[in-house]
Each structure stands twice: as C-alpha cells, then as structure tokens.
Amino acid sequence: MRFSRVACIVLLIGLVVTTLINTALWNYAQNELNKQYQYKSDLVLDSSREMLIQHRIMTDALRAFFNASNEVTEVEFALFAQNLLKIKSAVAFTLSPVLTPVLISDPVFKSAIEKGKAETDEKGNITYLIDNFSSIVIKIDEPKMPYIVYAISHQKIQQRIDQHSDVCARLTFGGITLFNRGCDKEQDWTAMFGFHSEQFVDLPEYGTSFNLAVDYVPTKKELLGISLLILAITLLGVGLSVLFFILVQHRININKQRIETNLKFALLSTLNHEIRTPINAVLGYANMLNNMACDDAQRQNTVEKIIWSANLLNSVAQNTLTYTKASSGSLTLYYEKVDLIEYLYKIDDYYRAFGSTHKKQLMLNLRDATPPHILLDTTKFFQLTTNLVNNAFKYSSGDTVILDIKVKAIKDIANRRNAVLCTQVDGFIRVAVRDFGKGMSAASQQALSKPFTTDDSSPTALKSGVGIGLYTCKTVIESVGGAIKIRSRKGKGTLVIFHFPYRVCSETEERVLVPQDNVAPARQHGRPLQVHTAQFIEQQSTVTKRQGRVLLVDDNRFNLEVCKAMLEDEGFDVTTAENEREVFSAMAALSDSSVAYNDVTHNDGAVYNELIILMDYMLAETDGFTLIESMKAKGYRQQHYFILSAHTEDEIQKVKTFTDIAFLQKPLDITLLKQKLPTGTMV
C-alpha cells in the first residue's frame, strides 16, 4: 500500500514535535538535578571549609601564644591548650630541637604521640606521623621548643563528612583520603546520570593542602519519574501523530476512491458504447456476407469491413488495458525484430477498408535512410500510431491524412533531453500525423494531459471515443523516454509528432536503405503512396509448402475450431486437446501414427514427428507453462513449444523464465508462427 506524501509529512511533523518536547523536558530535568546537586555539594564544601578554618584559627592562636611569651611552662601550655582545643577535635604538642615531644595539650593522647615519629624530607620540611591523625608542624620562636605540632583526629573529620551521606564526599588531607557513608553505595545504571566536582586548597604556610571531591547520583525514584513522564509524552505524541496520519490518509483515500469510481463509471459508460458499435458492425457485415448473393469483389469488400470493425474493437480494448497500465506505472517495452518497411506497409493496409468507407486516404511518407530491420515494441508502436491516425480520420473534415516516418539515431538527436536520458536505446522513430481539417479546440488538446477529456462542443467531432487515446499515447511515450507534441491551427488542421525508441539489430549483414534502393514510385491500393527517400518491396520467393503436424491445446472450443481451420488452410495436420488428459492421450496417439515426417528417436525407443505444440496460456485446470513442464518431465523434449495468449508478452512473467518456449499473441498469426519455427522445421 502506498501512503500519501501529505499523510507522511503530517506523521513526520508529529514525531519531530514529540522529539523536541522530550528533548526540552530532559534538559529541564537535567537542570533541576544539577541545581539539586549544586546545593548538596555546596553544603559539603561549606562544612569542610568551616572545619578547616576553625583548625587554622587554632593553629594561629597557638603560634601567637608562644610568640607572645618569653618562656611557656607546661602548666601554662596545658591550661591554654585545653581551653582552646577541648571541643575542636585536635591535640597540640611541642617538639624539642631533636624532634621529641615536650609539652602536650591533653595527656590522654600522650601514649599515641610518643608512639609517633618525626620525619624530615629533602627540603627540610618536618612532618610528625601519628596513627589516626593528620598533623601540621609549625615553626615557632622558642629555642627549647622550636616546633609546635597540631594534630587533627581522623575520627572527628569522618564524623563531619558523614553528616552528608546523600552524596559521596572524599576528603584528602595530609596524604590520607577519607570517604563518607555515601560512597559505600553500589554503583548501577544510575551512575550514568551522576554529577562530579572537586575543590583543591593549598596551605603552603603550613606545608600541607587538602582536596575535597563530591559525587552525586540521582535516586532511582527521581530517574523513574522522569522516564515515566518522557514515556507518557512519547506515547501521547506518537499516538496523536499516527492518529492524524490515519485521518489524513483516510481522507485522501476517500477522495482518491471517489475520483477512481467516477473515472470507472465514465470508462464503463463510454466503453459500453464504443464496444457495441464495432460489435454491431461485425455482426451486420457478417449477416450481409451470409445472406447476399454477390461476386468475389463485393464479398471481399464486405470481409474487409468486418476485419476493420474487429480491429477497431480490439483497439478499444487495447486502449483500455494500456490506460490501466499507464495509471499504475507498470508499462514496459518488449523489443522484437521487425522489418520496419514491411511493417509500415501493414499499417497502410490496415486503413484501406476504412479509407474506402469514409472517403479518406492515408498517405505514407518515409524520410531519409531507413534500416529494414530493427528491434521494436511493435504492439505499442502500432497502438500509438493507429490511435493518432484514427483521431485524424474520425475528427478531421479533410480527405487526406499524412503519416510521415523518419528514423533518427541517438547521435543525430543528442541535444534532445529525453534522448540523452534514455541510454538503453539506439534511436527514435519520429512519427508525424497530419490532417487538414478544422483543427483542435483547446478543450480537445487537454486530452493530452487529462484522461476522459472530450470536446462535447465540437460540431464536427464524432460523438464517440473513450477520451483516453491521447492521454495513453502521452503516458506511454514519456514513460519510455520519448516525447509528443501537438500543433493545431483553426482552419489549417492538426499535426501530432511523437518519438518512439528502437534498438539496432546486432546482425552484421544489416543494411540501410538509401534512395537508390527505390524499386517502385508508389504502392497501389487505389490511392497514391509517396516515398520520399527509400522504399523496399519484399520479393516473395515461392516456397513449396510441406505439411507439418500441430497439437493445438485450448479449453475454448470456439478458439479450437477457428485456429484449427486457419492452420489446416495452411496445410498443417492439426490435432486438438482441451485439457491435460487429452494432451497426453493425443501424444500417445501421435506416437502410434505411421505418417513419417522428420522422425526423431525418443528416449523410450518410440519414434515421433517434430511436433509443433500450440498451448493456450490460461487453461481451466492449469496454465500452459506448467503443462509444458509436465510434458517435458515425461520425455517430450523434441517438440517445438509455443504459448498462445491474449495478454502481451510483457504481462506474463513466466515468459522470461521459459526462454525455450516461444510466445504468440492472439489472434493467431500463421506468418509469425512460421517465422519463429527453427530453420529446417517442416512446414
């Protein structure tokens, strides 16, 4: 099912809007989470900064105490330090010149201090190591005690940072890193949405520094709430987008169906009139032929009228089929080798009966060098040409219609846009149809781009026609890389020109006709035929007819009778069958025949003639290709197989698969059958 472009655009817009809303929502959620993190992080940083500032105040006070005293006694130091440090999570003591403890602020820590030791680095900086403490060594102006050590308890620091367990805080101080309880949580998928920051503070006057890192991960509840909100908006947006898409597509489908219904009604209505007219003509001429007592000339004239009416009926059906293909975009070209000159003469013959009836004549002109054999889609070329000539005959008030043909190779028309685009062809046949009537009205010319368009106001137009002829021509021609133009002037007539692609035969003996090849100035059909440049008349060689054997398979008895009569008139020995059972019965009977043709020894020892098997494509119980495969499976491989069908060759996909089975389109053309038989077959 093909969707409307408008409906797809509506769906795309809905999805884009939904995506933009979700993006904006996620950005907003991230900003809110970041604000929450900044608040928590600032609390930890402020708390740690406050703690360190307090310790710095204590160290400054101790240093000032020693600098202000001439000599500090143990009692004075203990009294001052205990009052200063009793709630500040630290202990202070002095060091002798040999770096041993002298004065201690709190005797409780004496044992731990004495277990510690002093170290001096390469730069002369002194550190004092105590378990579970981080210390700062400060130089003071006291000869007997030149250093004071300020030791901070890790336990007290841990208690401070544990107050903020909703974040992970890592404090590095004096070479020791402490983690709070928030860092003990297991890492999971929520860590992908976490936040991180660090703050570094250097204290060179104390020979130390500290670093505080804070990590925050949103809770699953927070992320789940955001995810559910985004999911809800997504489902709502997608649902509304699909709903609007369906509504728009439904409205477009309704409009399309209404238009197609109107077109079908118009087609059926006009088709009913168009088909009844040639059918009645065929029946009338047939009754005349059956009842009249006339000479051969009268009988021949009546037969020609019957043939013309039947061809006109076939043209109506073919136009309808091609219009359907043109509307669906499934038109393809099927190339076959054709004698172009002889084929154009057949078109000329086609209009003899019509010309004598309507007192009009067709003048065929061939221009420039014309190759006698080319590869051409003869079915569509014939349909296009006869459509335009029919219009000229039917709607023109003049008595002459000119059909001008010119073969143009790609190299001669390289400046044409469509020719350049069509790289799969070797050239185009330029066909010009000119009449000398009153010309086409503007309404009539609209039929080139709009199907079912007719000019009801024209008093000279024959009130018939499906109104798809010109549209079909334009669609077919443009779909294969050609072009069509109409030039019409009031009172001067109409000129229609189209270009149809062809391919060159690969045979090396191919020759091109030139003016010297003219062998006759005109072809006699009771009217003049002008050939400006070249004219080729096929010299019929007399070939002795030799009988051939045919098995004709069709489930329509009328078709069997007609085709059998045609074949027998040509000297063929015809056996008929209607289904698979009769086919194999006929093959068994033919194997017992004593009539000797080109006998071939079969793999089962029996002797068969080289049969020509004409198989209808659409049978009641199976199709022709399947039945032929069944015959080959049973050993019948030496026969010449043909498929007969009312469809064109490009409509049947199996034709391309079974390349060893020749195709013939109904009605049966005996001449074409003979041409497709392998050389040496007895016919």
Amino acid 528: pLDDT: 41
pLDDT above 90: residue 627: yes
Report the C-alpha gap between 157 and 173 in whole angstroms: 10
Question: Same structural domain for residues 314 and 369?
Answer: no
pLDDT above 70: residue 464: no
Is residue 59 included in any domain, yes or no? Answer: yes
What residues have CB less than 8 Å from 615, skipping those under 6 apart?
A: 553, 624, 627, 628, 641, 642, 643, 644
Report the C-alpha gap between 220 and 187 in whole angstroms: 12
Mean pLDDT value of segment 577-596: 80
Is residue 508 included in any domain, yes or no? Answer: yes
- 406-409 long-range contacts, Cβ below 8 Å, gap at least 24? 406/366, 406/367, 406/368, 406/430, 406/432, 407/340, 407/368, 407/369, 407/370, 407/371, 407/374, 407/502, 408/499
pLDDT above 50: residue 310: yes
Mean pLDDT value of segment 526-533: 40
Q: Look up the CATH number of the domain holding residue 617.
A: 3.40.50.2300
Amino acid 86: pLDDT: 65
Question: 136 pLDDT band (50/70/90 cuts)?
Answer: confident
pLDDT above 80: residue 463: no
Q: Look up the CATH number of the domain holding residue 411.
A: 3.30.565.10
- Name which of 109, 178, 121, 201 is nearest 150 in CA terms: 109
Is residue 681 included in any domain, yes or no? Answer: no
Q: Look up the CATH number of the domain holding residue 302.
A: 1.10.287.130
Mean pLDDT value of segment 635-658: 83
pLDDT higher for 341 or 48? 341
Question: 593 pLDDT band (50/70/90 cuts)?
Answer: low
Residue-wise pLDDT tens digits, 143-182: 888 888 888 888 888 888 888 888 888 888 767 888 888 8
Amino acid 454: pLDDT: 59
Question: Same structural domain for residues 556 and 625?
Answer: yes
Query: Percent of the chain at pLDDT above 90?
Result: 15
Question: Same structural domain for residues 30 and 104?
Answer: yes
Amino acid sitting at position 169: A
Strands 493-504 and 427-435: antiparallel
Report the C-alpha gap between 296 and 238 in whole angstroms: 79
> Which residues form the domain of 320?
238-330
Number of domains in the chain: 4
Residue finishing a domain among 163, 185, 215? 163
Question: Same structural domain for residues 133 and 259?
Answer: no
Is residue 172 included in any domain, yes or no? Answer: no
Question: Same structural domain for residues 301 and 339?
Answer: no
Amino acid 482: pLDDT: 83
Question: Same structural domain for residues 499 and 631?
Answer: no
649 to 335, 519, 614: CA distances (angstroms): 10, 36, 15
Question: Same structural domain for residues 447 and 462?
Answer: yes
Amino acid 458: pLDDT: 54
Q: Give the helix/strand (H/E) hosting 111.
A: helix 110-115
Please confirm whether the linkage preceding 678 is cis (ω < 30° from 0).
no
Question: Same structural domain for residues 277 and 325?
Answer: yes
| Most distant CA atoms of the chain, gap in Å | 163
Is residue 485 included in any domain, yes or no? Answer: yes
- Of the listed ranges 329-343, 385-399, 414-428, the least confidently predicted one is 414-428
Q: How confident is the prediction for the chain on average, in pLDDT?
A: 76
E strand map for 520-623:
549-553, 573-577, 600-601, 607-608, 612-616
Question: 37 pLDDT band (50/70/90 cuts)?
Answer: confident
Question: Same structural domain for residues 326 and 341?
Answer: no
Amino acid 638: pLDDT: 78
Residue finishing a domain among 103, 132, 163? 163
pLDDT above 60: residue 519: no
Report the C-alpha gap between 664 and 649 in whole angstroms: 8
Amino acid 289: pLDDT: 61
Question: Same structural domain for residues 254 and 357?
Answer: no
Residue-wise pLDDT tens digits, 341-382: 888 888 887 777 666 666 778 888 887 777 778 998 888 888
Tokens at 489, concatenated = 């002037």
Is residue 233 included in any domain, yes or no? Answer: no
Amino acid 311: pLDDT: 66
Is residue 435 included in any domain, yes or no? Answer: yes
Mean pLDDT value of segment 309-327: 64
Residue finishing a domain among 107, 138, 163? 163
Amino acid 457: pLDDT: 55
Is residue 573 included in any domain, yes or no? Answer: yes
Question: Same structural domain for residues 513 and 393?
Answer: yes
pLDDT above 70: residue 111: yes
Question: Same structural domain for residues 628 and 651?
Answer: yes
